[in-house]
């Protein structure tokens, strides 16, 4: 029998009355390129072996109250993206009683299956994903687009999910997970902000320096990017019927042996030792396996081995000494790195090594080049949107500590980036049991996923026997 989902309540949650004045927040050059990005979707699964009625009586009121108290400090999430008539720039506006759409539902889906790492149909998570409210247009053409929606779904006697859809132009992953941990901390302390242990966010956009005038350049490029284009990127797209998502877990031993393997290979080939980190070697292995697994899709893939393949990833500029941007800064603060390798090299005998060198070099470049990755943000996102190139995008980071989001009933049983439904995206995160383990999530068509898994296991076996 097919899983069923029943919406039990649809409401709005806003900051406490009078707690937030009407506020307008400008978008910085870090924020503007993300207007071209579809909304992000992150889901958290929690154990709850009780009835729906028990959930409604005990947890739901605390969840709503703590969310309201949290939105007092993270009010941009209950705001709107505003596109005034040209040439006025888009910005974020909060006015009372702006709120976040909050949906409560009940599902007959099997909780144990959903939290397993085994392959599952990508559509399995779609019923849990909240839809952003529709935009509004004023008579003068001003366009208002809601920024966040939340859905809580109960699976009786097993668990429940919290799933959030939000627009990247308002906040990056660091800011979003700051919000989630703050909400969790307030909930765990039963609404006592004095006991909540998470720092307050910093909303001052003046600390973002723009010596290269990138905001003006990006605004000019966005002039023909209509607000309707932003809204059209809001919903879950159709995906192939045989698409599956899979979570792969790398142990600390896997990662350390992979680092050593890359180091030995570099020396044996007389190559410069790249920036060898957990991120570099894990991304290199996954990228290699993904591209290698494409060989079975179509013979046309093999037609031009000189085409460039790109791995795009983000680097956080917070807490870097040259910028003086604190880790609590709320907004976007990312630059983009592009590791580029010719296909013939990437799928060759030394493909993992070639990938590691390219990624490591780009990581090192971003660490030493002030805002250099920022200059290409807009053009990168244009390419991401069209996917005209052979591009893979890394979403998330183990450093965000997703599994530390404890609302008072323990760590998440699982957390997924729902938007890896786009097979051009791979997610990285920490693991529930820590111990240096890394979770990698991706979605591919079934036959390619099987090939990917085989290639990955072959290389992990080779690396595992390294003394």
Q: Which of 339, 345, 329 is nearest to 364 (CA)?
A: 339
Query: Are residues 230 and 145 in contact, defined by beta-carbon separation less than 8 angstroms?
Result: yes
State how far the Cα of 347 lies from the Cα of 290, in Å rounded to an integer: 10
Residues marked active site are found at: 168, 406
Q: Which of 199, 167, 449 is nearest to 319 (CA)?
A: 199
Radius of gyration of the chain (CA): 22
Q: How many CB atoms lie within 10 A of CB 241?
A: 10
- The CB-side HSE value for 118 (13 A sphere, CA atoms) comes to 4
What are the residues whose beta carbons fall under 8 Å from the beta carbon of 162, sequence distance 6 or more? 43, 44, 46, 63, 150, 151, 152
């Amino acid at each position: 029998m097919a899983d069923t989902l029943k919406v039990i309540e649809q409401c709005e949650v806003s900051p406490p009355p009078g707690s937030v004045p009407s506020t307008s927040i400008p978008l910085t050059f870090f924020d503007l390129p993300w207007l071209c990005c579809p909304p992000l979707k992150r889901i958290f699964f929690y154990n709850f072996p009780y009835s729906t009625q028990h959930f409604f009586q005990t947890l739901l009121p605390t969840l709503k109250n703590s969310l309201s108290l949290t939105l007092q400090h993270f009010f941009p999430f209950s705001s709107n993206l505003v596109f005034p008539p040209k040439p006025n720039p888009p910005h974020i506006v909060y006015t009372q009683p702006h709120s976040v759409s909050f949906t409560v539902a009940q599902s007959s889906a099997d909780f144990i299956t959903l939290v397993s790492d085994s392959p599952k149909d990508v559509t399995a998570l779609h019923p849990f994903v909240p839809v952003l409210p529709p935009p509004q247009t004023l008579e003068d053409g001003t366009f208002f687009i809601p920024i966040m929606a939340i859905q809580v779904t109960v699976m009786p006697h097993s668990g429940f999910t919290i799933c959030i859809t939000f627009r990247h132009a308002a906040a990056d992953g660091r800011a979003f997970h700051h919000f989630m941990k703050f909400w969790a901390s307030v909930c765990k302390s039963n609404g006592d902000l004095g006991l909540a242990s998470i720092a307050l966010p910093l909303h001052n956009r003046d600390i973002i320096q723009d010596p290269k005038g990138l905001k003006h350049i990006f605004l000019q490029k966005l002039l023909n990017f209509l607000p309707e284009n932003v809204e059209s990127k809001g919903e879950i797209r159709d995906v192939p019927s045989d698409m599956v998502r899979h979570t792969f877990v790398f142990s600390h031993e896997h990662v350390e042996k992979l680092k050593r393997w890359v180091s030995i290979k570099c020396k044996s080939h007389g190559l410069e030792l790249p920036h060898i980190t957990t991120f570099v070697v894990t991304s290199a292995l996954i990228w290699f396996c993904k591209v290698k697994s494409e060989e079975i899709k179509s013979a046309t893939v093999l037609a031009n081995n000189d085409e460039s393949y790109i791995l795009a990833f983000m680097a956080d500029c917070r807490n870097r000494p040259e910028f003086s941007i604190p880790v609590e800064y709320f907004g976007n603060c990312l630059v983009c790195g592009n590791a580029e390798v010719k296909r013939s090299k990437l799928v060759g005998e030394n493909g993992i090594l070639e990938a590691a060198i390219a990624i490591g070099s780009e990581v090192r470049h971003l660490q030493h080049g002030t805002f250099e990755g920022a200059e290409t943000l807009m053009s990168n996102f244009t390419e991401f949107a069209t996917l005209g190139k052979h591009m893979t995008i890394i979403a998330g980071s183990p450093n965000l500590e997703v599994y530390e989001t404890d609302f008072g009933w323990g760590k998440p049983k699982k957390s997924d980036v729902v938007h890896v439904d786009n097979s051009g995206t791979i997610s990285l995160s920490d693991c529930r049991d820590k111990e240096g383990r890394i979770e990698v999530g991706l979605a591919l068509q079934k036959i390619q996923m099987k090939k990917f898994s085989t290639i990955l296991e072959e290389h992990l076996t080779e690396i595992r026997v390294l003394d």
